[in-house]
Amino acid sequence: MPEPTTTPECRDTPPTQFEVDLSNGARLCCPFYPQDCEWLAVHRYGRETYRVTAAALAASPVGELTRMADALSDGRPANPDLPVTFYDGEPGNYGLESAVSAVATGRTLRFASAGREVDYLRVCGPTGEEVAYWVRDEFAEDAADVLGATVGCLASTGALA
The pLDDT assigned to 160 comes to 63
Residue 32's Cβ-side half-sphere holds a number of Cα atoms within 13 Å equal to: 6
| Average pLDDT score, the chain | 80
Q: What residues does each domain of the chain span?
A: 10-155
Q: Are strands 86-87 and 39-44 parallel, antiparallel or unpaired?
A: unpaired
Q: pTM surpassing 0.85? A: no
The pLDDT assigned to 3 comes to 39
In a 10 Å sphere around its CB, with 0-12 CB exposed, 13-18 middle and 19+ buried, how is residue 21 labelled? middle
Report the alpha-carbon distance of residue 18 to residue 32 in Å, rounded: 5
Helices (H) and strands (E) in the chain, counts: 3, 10
Task: Over range 108-132, report the average pLDDT.
Answer: 86
